[in-house]
Amino acid sequence: MLPIPEHLHPMVVHFPIALFITALGLDVVSLIVKKQNLHQSALTLYIIAALVTPLVLRTGILEAVRLNLNHPVLDEHRKYATWLMWFSLMSLPILWLLKNEFNKYFRWVFILILIGSVILVSLTAEEGGEMVYEYAVGVEK
């Protein structure tokens, strides 16, 4: 088994954050300028972000174990991250069904899912930032 590098979580966590937020931005712009390719790009970014969330959550759990953390802010951070993971993963088959069977509802449901995902990303990131900047979790002494 390959050794897991220290601080892997901070290295990978920003990837899905950027993807979820960019997907929302692209989809909103695609509605305004009526460009289907921007919508398709947003959908692709969302799918990648959703599929990466289990890896990111796992690296966070491993980091907490490695640092022997036990803190209410960590509990909130983990809770929001878990909600984001399940929300985004469970949305994938729903989006697939809508795209294939109920296409006229797809666009608006997708926007709502994107907004929900970005809200969960923001809540998760706020708690993670609080751990680092308020409590210096993971900061070398």
Token pair, residue 38, equals: 């921007």
**Segments making up each domain of the chain, as ranges:** 10-133
User: What are phi and psi for residue 5, nearest 5 degrees?
Assistant: -65, 150
What's the pLDDT score for residue 132? 81
CA dihedral over 129, 134, 137, 140, signed as positive or negative = positive
Asked whether 17 and 60 are in contact (CB, 8 A), the reply is: no
pLDDT per residue as tens digits for the range 86-119: 999 999 999 999 998 888 899 999 999 999 999 9
The model's pTM is 0.90
> Which residue is it, tokens 């706020």?
126
Number of residues that make up the chain: 141
pLDDT digits (tens, 9 = 90+) for 37-68: 999 999 999 999 999 999 999 999 998 888 88
